Structure 1
């Protein structure tokens, strides 16, 4: 029933056919229906007949919304009928139920002839309908940029000449200029903004939108947008949602995108100085809105448009402001990420050596809000063509989630960017105390294991003498060496002290080391159990964790067996387990040192070279096997080549240069036949040439062929391990076995952004130094945590002491890179601002010169070529870049090659639209291009002054000639 009522409400009486029953409402007058048919058929005779029969020309038909015959005659542009009705006494100001007068109908239809008749008959130019719209609103709304728009231009001119007011607002607060901008009629815009209408160009409606907003959202006419910009529209004006025209262009819904218009409109707005840093009420800039489209590709061409939009915004200095935009940039346009991250460095001055130089690092792109990402994912429109689940690393509640995602996405080279590097360095200072505690614990564990194994001796293989220490001492006393005598003396002393039990005697060194090893081994077992319970899959993929797990298994076997042994000695199998344990323990300690920033890269280089050597050695193993088999066949009587395994090991040792030539090949025992001896020497010579000289040097050359590339990759791997370490620490602190309050305390102590504001900005001062007293004060503050007491103490002993604040710092090399980026961006901003102001000044000079030559009030167009390269072409004023597959994983994204820096701005014309794109350069190239723009501006000024001088000289010459002619006329 409700659906039937809605159908009746949406149905129009005028659209009803002859067989359509009218269910309710008054029945229309039959004479009025006949009149409507006559007006539709343009039958003037029938109209006169109906009027002669007594039909009133001012009849208001309730069934037709109280419309009069004159309104229908104007609607059908039946001029003769309009004249006939007016002559019959029709009221030209009579409105229908919606407040629409014949003048509204004529203006909205673009009927010039009927409009002229109505105005001549005294119709007022500004009647209001029920929505406070005037005929000027109707004409502007119905205008179009096509050929038929000229009629509406004439209608508007006629209304304005009749006295229509430009400042009339409708119920929505919109002017006629808003409607013209929505319709996209540039001709109508020029008429409405000239003269007194120039003050209305920035008026806002109730939504806070200016005509420029309406032009961007309306009929998508680039001429309309250009006209408003040329007449001085406020390009950065915001509506009630905080959106500018640039926001609306970049963030247009994916199913309403017009690639051609949106791309050119974006270029036009940017070339006229649209701010890429403006944020709406949600805190999003234009780049974030453009990147939201990458979550769903509505059409095949949408990716090209978004790529173009992101290129334009990044080239103009748009920055990545949050983790969502960073995720979409890394996912869709990774080659643009380094350029966009450069804007995260800001400097307060361009003086590099100033002590007041402040460097602000915005870590917003590296922070991820899991709830925000999930909310955006939930609000994503249903699009079965592009299902995009959230990456698992971004769902972690961690400060390094974005860095973990960069690793997960295969873009590890982005970790070398100074912003990511600085974030990891500052984060390291938060995690360092816990890592050092772990290193010290492991160091004492290794020391206790080493001390225990060194203080314990090997058991005798004779079962008769392995029962007690006395028999062992007697056997050792038979030795004639001094070392054996000393060793025997030590055991005589132990025998006098009593029987020794390794596990229970705390009076001797062996027992003390046993207890230390028991304690540290138990703590190690507990730590490993907690890590395994946290995430077993991540645990087994780490080499250090595998070594720790091996130690957890091996060390208790040594300790338990020592308890059962009365002699405090190690059996043969214990010796093997102990040897493996001590090697693995010291290797694991070396891996721990690789986590320190100062020496981590060298440990990674060691592991990288080791992997290369092993990989290449496996390729040449058949050569070693071949020579090992040959030597085994010829020299199997020798102990070094007695079996296959020994022969292979001997060949590997000979590869390092340890040949033992005389005893093995010249005087073997037993002697070999002369033929076999000659053959073995010949094979040895071939082995020396192929393996010792060629193969060994080839392995070294291949392993360390490009040390610079190895160092670069090692730096990336070091940063990767730092990220993994911080993830491991955070996961450990979030363990369910730890109380919740303690969890919050631990996580807060390692959080880098917990004490910062919402913008997540860290400030460093590169040129600020502290004296000796300040350094001691800051050191004591970090240790004692009593600031007020220390301040009073220092004020007593240090005159004029001012308590300094602790400030984060960066390594010198990283600080230099960050300062260079910040100062470069600061200089770019200053130069672009000067160029824009200079361009505006030139435009005003041109406008002033043109106003002196003519009385026309139409302003001279401020050509965008003065501010930026021409925006007429589709791809002007933008940087083109290679596809994502063209960027190698280990390539240097932050220092492009010289041949890439020479070509800065790429202007692509329609004729070569299919040309290959160049790689996007860094910000150094923008300085060179801006310098060229300054030169072009100077040339434009000189050309303008030359033209003015030529015009003045021409004027003087003309005046002189005219004066001479007048003088001749007087003489005649």
Structure 2
């Protein structure tokens, strides 16, 4: 890399050599690297942030305690063979001992001339293979009683105890072998436990073996004999050691007791024996991870151990170092049986939070089919579907972010809130719209299921009740009942407002909230009217300066014969009274606007609404046009006042346009206004060109005296106000106009390009927009109604009003003042029913009838469906068990492959040794 970089000339000098400049060296290196290893991606801004933190891609898996190494027959045999081969000894001696080709009678003959290592290893092998009859003869040949193999430090007594050879164990003990010897890792009693040899263990105990001896192995450090027996699933040894006084609460270096180990390994019989022992603590925790035995059984999905532990009094709400309960772990590994046991028998709380504030319902969301059953089970036991974690994500967020449509559909149908926001402002509805659009139909089905029909059994006229349950709309919205529907508008799902359930709720909400909007409009009208009267009298008519005799240049407009002028001349203080009344109303408007700031999340959002900008401009203008500063008014204040009045009445028009009855008309106007502004901007150069051309061609015309007046005249001519007087001279006695031809050509081009083409284009665009607005008039009305009610509601319930006023608002502005009253009952077949619009009731009635027919069809096939459901549930559980077994089988396959590789290696080593021995024997024969 370095050589390649140095070979690239960076700067050329006159001599053709490359030279470095120290201040630019780092920049040049970066340029060379970028050119040498260029990326194929285009630099185009920064990518958007991830929807969810990486913690949700793979949740942290709690550690288990299975990383261990235990003694087994195969591993000991391999270690002894390897040890024999490493010393270049005769390995066939071991095979002959195992095959009983070597007996007491030929022992000395076979081992004549044998080396000491061969005798010692053979001694170990005889003890291991239960050839206790050879032990005494090998001792006479020089075998060391305390010789041990190098891997685990196993001597003859260890191996005899492991193999369950009672005569061999008794013989070695009688020869003086230490029953508590630990040459490296294990004592003989540990080996008896690993070998599931209770008889040899009893021999050792009777000869003084320490029942509390601890291991010294690198993996199983400071484990008791009970630990070793549990690892080997040696139930007989477990019972023996418990009977002999072994401590069932003894912990090894990481704080794991035999009970933890049995629960983690799934050894149910060992666990049962340990729990029945005196002093057993079923709720003891490990030192490092603070996990109980119930945690370990739950994370392995072992329902038998979970049930046993619960029967013995295990705490189902105990927390580990991550504040997770066993229910968290069982839900994570998708063990339906364990979840069910923990909820039913353990009374586990489904709403306990872990360290990241996640509940078991968060961890239950997954890709497997059994996740659906677990989610339903948790919800049936009261799990909060809208619980947020530390990032603000609910279980529905998790399912939507991972594209888990099945879990998302279940949560929606069970009532999860699709509009709840995370800390970064992300809603499940927004995620579903992009990642699982098919689940949007589930939201509609949820709305449909909230509309039902109920027929009175004793009704004589077949009267039916239509019941609309607004629970899904009001569940997380008190006291701001519009936040749910407002989120649908913000996320671009406006079509849901057309659903009868949403339309009915909007209608009821508007009936409640419209009185407050009417009060707001009334005060706005009084404010604008007061401003207009003040400007008309004090500024436009100059009456204030007339009354105070300020200056000689007073325009005598106030002296004209009129009722207003007469009144103002008779009462000079009237203008001042108007001003003070206007100031009082303005102060009230200022307080109202400041109070209304609480209805917006940001200042930018507040000023993104034109009516807010207009209102503040009008409020500021009130203080600008006052006479209190100098005692008189000025002409420049008339300019400000004129625009203030225009802005005030325009804002009042926008407020009227927010009313559902007049919204379409104002929407049409604003739409045409936007299109005209775009069109005017696009063709502004053409209009400016015509305006300047007319200034040049008609220099003596007052209408084109300067470019600005000329542009205004051109805009007037656009509307069709055309006059030929400027191009046709009616006085024939005057000399001919020098630019007459150019004037006629320019005027003709203006008529064609602007008056005909441009204006017709504008009319066509306006007509098209109006037709589009008329087609979506109903939806647009609901959208405007939703936004209007939402802003009013946010302003009313911002928390800065007295409590008594809040109580009044609850009863006058809320559809459901009491949280439990969320169902509206109407009679759709009764013509006197006026609580809902007729079209909304008819649409809701149609949906309810469809649901009724679906229920009847479902009831007719209920038995088949139940059978299919039970079958599918059984299949899901079977599939889950198969997946668990597949994982275990794969683990065993990996271990078998490793053992096979080790066997192959040892086989090659043995073959090489045999070849070497044969070659040596041939050489000896040839030498002889």
TM-score (norm 1): 0.52
Partner-residue secondary structure (3-state), 1:666? coil
> How far does residue 624 in structure 1 lie from its aligned partner after superposition?
0.7
Whether the 8 Å CA contact 1:70–1:90 is kept in 2: the answer is no
Q: Which one of 689, 700, 707 corresponds to residue 752 of structure 2?
A: 689
1:838 corresponding residue in structure 2: 864
Asked if 1:77 is matched to 2:195, the reply is yes
What is the rounded CA distance, in whole Å, between the counterparts of 2:805 and 2:200 in structure 1?
90
What is the rounded CA distance, in whole Å, between the counterparts of 1:515 and 1:623 in structure 2?
50
Asked if 1:347 is matched to 2:409, the reply is no
Partner-residue secondary structure (3-state), 2:822? strand
* Superposition pairs of residues 761-776 of structure 1, within 5 angstroms: 762-767=822-827
1:502 corresponding residue in structure 2: 568
Whether the 8 Å CA contact 1:635–1:641 is kept in 2: the answer is yes
Where structure 1 has 5 or more consecutive residues not aligned to the other structure, the ranges are 1-13, 15-30, 145-151, 370-396, 477-486, 776-808, 847-859, 875-972
2:673 corresponding residue in structure 1: 610
2:611 corresponding residue in structure 1: 544
2:689 corresponding residue in structure 1: 626
Whether the 8 Å CA contact 2:618–2:647 is kept in 1: the answer is yes
> How far does residue 51 in structure 1 lie from its aligned partner after superposition?
2.3
Asked if 1:524 is matched to 2:585, the reply is yes
> How far does residue 746 in structure 1 lie from its aligned partner after superposition?
5.8
Q: Relative to structure 1, is the Cα distance of residues 102 and 412 closer, same or farther in structure 2, using a 3 angstrom cutoff?
A: closer
Whether the 8 Å CA contact 1:259–1:305 is kept in 2: the answer is no
* Superposition pairs of residues 296-445 of structure 1, within 5 angstroms: 307-309=402-404, 312-315=407-410, 317-321=413-417, 330-331=426-427, 334-336=430-432, 342=444, 343=446, 347=450, 349-350=452-453, 355-362=464-471, 367=476, 416=497, 426-445=508-527
Whether the 8 Å CA contact 1:414–1:420 is kept in 2: the answer is no
What is the rounded CA distance, in whole Å, between the counterparts of 1:77 and 1:873 in structure 2?
31
> How far does residue 94 in structure 1 lie from its aligned partner after superposition?
11
What is the rounded CA distance, in whole Å, between the counterparts of 1:648 and 1:745 in structure 2?
59
2:874 corresponding residue in structure 1: 862
Asked if 1:38 is matched to 2:155, the reply is yes
Partner-residue secondary structure (3-state), 1:263? coil
Whether the 8 Å CA contact 2:454–2:466 is kept in 1: the answer is yes
Q: Relative to structure 1, is the Cα distance of residues 292 and 367 closer, same or farther in structure 2, using a 3 angstrom cutoff?
A: same
> How far does residue 628 in structure 1 lie from its aligned partner after superposition?
1.6
Q: Relative to structure 1, is the Cα distance of residues 305 and 200 closer, same or farther in structure 2, using a 3 angstrom cutoff?
A: farther
> How far does residue 632 in structure 1 lie from its aligned partner after superposition?
2.1
* Superposition pairs of residues 885-904 of structure 1, within 5 angstroms: none
1:928 corresponding residue in structure 2: none
> How far does residue 334 in structure 1 lie from its aligned partner after superposition?
0.9
Q: Relative to structure 1, is the Cα distance of residues 38 and 97 closer, same or farther in structure 2, using a 3 angstrom cutoff?
A: closer
Partner-residue secondary structure (3-state), 1:356? strand
2:384 corresponding residue in structure 1: 284
Q: Relative to structure 1, is the Cα distance of residues 441 and 177 closer, same or farther in structure 2, using a 3 angstrom cutoff?
A: closer
Whether the 8 Å CA contact 2:399–2:408 is kept in 1: the answer is no
> How far does residue 650 in structure 1 lie from its aligned partner after superposition?
1.6
Partner-residue secondary structure (3-state), 1:349? strand
Q: Relative to structure 1, is the Cα distance of residues 78 and 672 closer, same or farther in structure 2, using a 3 angstrom cutoff?
A: farther
1:148 corresponding residue in structure 2: none
Q: Deviations over 1:174-225 (max 9, x none)?
A: 9x99799547478xx7xx69xxx9x989969533489xx9697269766xx4
What is the rounded CA distance, in whole Å, between the counterparts of 2:497 and 2:750 in structure 1?
45
> How far does residue 435 in structure 1 lie from its aligned partner after superposition?
2.6
1:647 corresponding residue in structure 2: 710
- The range that moved more, 570-579 or 603-612, is 570-579
Q: Deviations over 1:886-933 (max 9, x none)?
A: xxxxxxxxxxxxxxxxxxxxxxxxxxxxxxxxxxxxxxxxxxxxxxxx
Q: Which one of 335, 347, 350 corresponds to residue 240 of structure 1?
A: 347
2:726 corresponding residue in structure 1: 664
Asked if 1:207 is matched to 2:323, the reply is no
Q: Relative to structure 1, is the Cα distance of residues 256 and 746 closer, same or farther in structure 2, using a 3 angstrom cutoff?
A: closer
* Superposition pairs of residues 781-796 of structure 1, within 5 angstroms: none
Whether the 8 Å CA contact 2:828–2:845 is kept in 1: the answer is no
> Larger C-alpha radius of gyration, 1 or 2?
2
> How far does residue 339 in structure 1 lie from its aligned partner after superposition?
5.9
Q: Relative to structure 1, is the Cα distance of residues 292 and 825 closer, same or farther in structure 2, using a 3 angstrom cutoff?
A: farther
> How far does residue 862 in structure 1 lie from its aligned partner after superposition?
2.9
> How far does residue 502 in structure 1 lie from its aligned partner after superposition?
0.7
Partner-residue secondary structure (3-state), 1:597? coil
Q: Relative to structure 1, is the Cα distance of residues 54 and 319 closer, same or farther in structure 2, using a 3 angstrom cutoff?
A: same
Q: Deviations over 1:296-325 (max 9, x none)?
A: 89xxxx978952457623355243359756
Q: Relative to structure 1, is the Cα distance of residues 451 and 647 closer, same or farther in structure 2, using a 3 angstrom cutoff?
A: same
What is the rounded CA distance, in whole Å, between the counterparts of 2:316 and 2:715 in structure 1?
82
> How far does residue 640 in structure 1 lie from its aligned partner after superposition?
2.5
1:393 corresponding residue in structure 2: none
Q: Relative to structure 1, is the Cα distance of residues 829 and 207 closer, same or farther in structure 2, using a 3 angstrom cutoff?
A: farther
Q: Relative to structure 1, is the Cα distance of residues 523 and 595 closer, same or farther in structure 2, using a 3 angstrom cutoff?
A: farther
> How far does residue 52 in structure 1 lie from its aligned partner after superposition?
1.4
> How far does residue 625 in structure 1 lie from its aligned partner after superposition?
0.9
What is the rounded CA distance, in whole Å, between the counterparts of 1:293 and 1:501 in structure 2?
70
> How far does residue 590 in structure 1 lie from its aligned partner after superposition?
1.5
* Superposition pairs of residues 548-947 of structure 1, within 5 angstroms: 548-552=615-619, 579-580=642-643, 582-661=645-724, 663-667=725-729, 673=736, 676-702=739-765, 705-706=768-769, 707-708=771-772, 716=783, 719-730=786-797, 734=800, 740=802, 744=806, 747-748=809-810, 752=814, 755-757=817-819, 762-767=822-827, 838-841=864-867, 862-864=874-876
> How far does residue 609 in structure 1 lie from its aligned partner after superposition?
2.9
Q: Relative to structure 1, is the Cα distance of residues 667 and 179 closer, same or farther in structure 2, using a 3 angstrom cutoff?
A: closer
1:933 corresponding residue in structure 2: none
2:66 corresponding residue in structure 1: none
Whether the 8 Å CA contact 1:132–1:170 is kept in 2: the answer is no
> How far does residue 619 in structure 1 lie from its aligned partner after superposition?
1.8
Where structure 2 has 5 or more consecutive residues not aligned to the other structure, the ranges are 1-69, 71-144, 162-166, 215-221, 252-256, 285-291, 319-324, 434-439, 456-461, 598-602, 884-928
Q: Relative to structure 1, is the Cα distance of residues 701 and 238 closer, same or farther in structure 2, using a 3 angstrom cutoff?
A: farther
What is the rounded CA distance, in whole Å, between the counterparts of 1:453 and 1:258 in structure 2?
65
Q: Deviations over 1:11-30 (max 9, x none)?
A: xxx9xxxxxxxxxxxxxxxx
Whether the 8 Å CA contact 1:362–1:762 is kept in 2: the answer is yes
Q: Which structure is higher in RCO with an 8 Å CA cutoff and minimum separation 6?
A: 1
Partner-residue secondary structure (3-state), 2:470? strand
Q: Relative to structure 1, is the Cα distance of residues 810 and 237 closer, same or farther in structure 2, using a 3 angstrom cutoff?
A: farther
Asked if 1:108 is matched to 2:230, the reply is yes
What is the rounded CA distance, in whole Å, between the counterparts of 2:358 and 2:529 in structure 1?
68
* Superposition pairs of residues 445-456 of structure 1, within 5 angstroms: 445-446=527-528
Whether the 8 Å CA contact 1:70–1:102 is kept in 2: the answer is no
Q: Which one of 133, 137, 141 corresponds to residue 263 of structure 2?
A: 141
Q: CA RMSD in A?
A: 6.8
Whether the 8 Å CA contact 1:349–1:357 is kept in 2: the answer is yes
Q: Which one of 13, 34, 52 corresponds to residue 174 of structure 2?
A: 52
> How far does residue 648 in structure 1 lie from its aligned partner after superposition?
1.1
Q: Relative to structure 1, is the Cα distance of residues 720 and 604 closer, same or farther in structure 2, using a 3 angstrom cutoff?
A: farther
> How far does residue 234 in structure 1 lie from its aligned partner after superposition?
6.6
2:55 corresponding residue in structure 1: none
Partner-residue secondary structure (3-state), 1:680? helix
What is the rounded CA distance, in whole Å, between the counterparts of 2:274 and 2:637 in structure 1?
106
